[in-house]
Amino acid sequence: MAGDEEASSLGGRVKRYAQVSTAVGGLAARLAGERFLGIKLDRPEHARELKTALGGLKGPLMKVAQIMATVPEALPQEYVQELIQLQSNAPSMGWLFVRRRMAAELGPDWAGRFDAFEREASAAASLGQVHRASLDGRDLAAKLQYPDMSSAVEADLRQLKLIFAIYHRYDKTIDTGQVHEEIAARLREELDYHLEARHMSLYREMLKTADGVHVPDVVPELSTRRLLTMTWLDGERLLEFKDADIQVRNAIATNMFHAWYVPFYNYGVIHGDPHLGNYSARPDHGINLLDFGCVRIFQAKFVRGVIDLYNAISRDDRELAVHAYETWGFGGLTNEIIDTLNMWANFVYAPLLEDRVRRIQEFESGGVYGREVAEKVHKKLRELGGVTPPREFVFMDRAAIGLGGVFMHLRAEVNWHQLFHELIAGFDEKRLHRRQTAMLKKHEVPLP
């Protein structure tokens, strides 16, 4: 079985630093040459090379690059379009690698514990890849972590801290300290497949009344800290349905809404990685949730703040809006900063405010969902001296942007107001806290 030999080691981190420097250093130097020396750079080609370099590296830099692709003004559009593809298009590792890894996790006779195990990976992402298998008439998915990922995570997080420090010298709009802490915490959690298995069990129960949402079953006897075996759920990529009949697209969007928001408003839990590769759609237009490595749990008061801010925007209640921001931990709120934060809030809540069927975004957009509005907010905050966002917002905002992007791709036309109000009817912070505490304890998931 795999053990402490794969814990983060100095040698592994040094090796990772060398890999990162070799793959990315030259590309970064060329970008600096354009900025400071006026050297002409083919940005689309450079962006493709950067995606290839990061994809070949595996590991958390891929995920971080994808997160950065959603941060307004952090990267030019050419880079956004390439980096946002990283996680779904990562190259898989070969069969010799798979045999070694499986033997390390389940022992030398690992193959005899399955009826069948496909050599080719069915999906590959930043920290691991998935192989289809079967046992006792059940179709299975075996998610296998890449080797030495703990060292890669620690090395990449240190590199990311340096990148943030340099970036902050040029743009002090957002204090990146807590952003780094939040990314670090979630990435370290993603390495622990035992924790992901508990997250999966948690989601199965939270969503048991959501008929259109499906969660795999863990196969514990074929799972370890770095191998997660679960039941296989058949489905097609969501974007395969972008030209389907409007009724089909609306049904998929509605099920996605429930998949994400039922756990949040009932239990204070979000699926923090709304990448398209983490979902699939079934023939009956139901949704499969396929990855539970990035799950974020919020205190009940945070959820109340989300509802408070909605009510503040809908009633034009400035005092309640300030209360919501302060509940979340925003500090130094001047009138100008409040106005700027409200600009973003008005955009995020707009689909929920109107009791009618509509698209999630009703103006033309050239890329990432919400990017144009976020750029205006970002620019204004820079002029005002910046803010320090609570660390919870790193994945909360990322999830909201990602989910909105799914709805936008589907061109779904739904009464979002009605869906939202069905979920928050009778909301009570104390009841949520009690319900959350009992549910997390039952599934052995740490309290926030």
Q: Going from the first residue of the chain to its last (448 residues), give the mean pLDDT of each consecutive group of 10, the final group possibly shorter.
A: 49 51 49 48 65 58 58 55 57 87 96 97 85 97 89 74 60 62 80 95 96 96 97 93 95 96 96 80 95 91 96 96 92 90 90 94 62 74 74 72 83 96 97 98 92
* Phi and psi torsions of 87, nearest 5°: -65, -35
Written in H, E and C, the secondary structure of 216-262 is CCECHHHCCCCEEEEECCCCECHHHHCCCCHHHHHHHHHHHHHHHHH
Instruction: Check residue 362 and give its pLDDT.
Output: 77
- d(C-alpha 351, C-alpha 363), whole Å: 12
Predicted local distance difference test score (pLDDT) of residue 155: 74
Each residue's pLDDT tens digit, 266-307: 999 998 776 777 889 999 999 999 999 889 999 999 999 999
Q: How far apart are CA 335 and CA 301, in angstroms?
A: 24
Q: Domain ranges for the chain, please list them.
A: 171-211+237-448
Q: Which residue from 371, 346, 350 is spatially nearest to 359, judged by alpha carbons? A: 350
Q: What is the pLDDT of residue 157?
A: 76
The C-alpha angle 364, 365, 368, rounded to 5 degrees, equals: 160
Q: Are 313 and 321 in contact (CB under 8 A)?
A: yes
Supply φ then ψ for residue 315, to 5 degrees: -105, 0
Residue 71, SS3? Answer: coil
Virtual torsion, Cα 285, 270, 386, 43, nearest 10 deg: -50
**In degrees, to the nearest 5, what angle opens at C-alpha 311 toward C-alphas 307 and 317?**
135
What is the per-residue pLDDT for 1? 44
Q: Residue 120 contacts by C-beta under 8 Å, 6 or more apart in sequence? A: 92, 131
**Phi-psi label, residue 137: left if phi above 0, alpha if psi -120 to 50, beta otherwise:** left
Overall pTM > 0.85: no
According to DSSP, the β-strands at 295-297 and 227-231 are unpaired
Token pair, residue 439, equals 């549910």
What whole-number distance in Å separates Cα of residue 300 and Cα of residue 448? 10
H/E element, 322: helix 318-328
pLDDT at 382: 72
Q: What is the pLDDT of residues 351-408, one digit of tens each?
A: 999 999 999 987 665 555 666 777 788 778 777 777 777 777 766 776 777 788 888 8
With tokens 């709805």, the residue in question is 407
In angstroms, the CA 176 to CA 165 distance is 8
pLDDT for position 4: 46
| Closest of 124, 442, 127, 440 to residue 296, by C-alpha | 440
94 CB neighbour count, 10 Å cutoff: 11
- Checking DSSP bridges between strand 128-135 and strand 116-117, what pairing results, if any? antiparallel
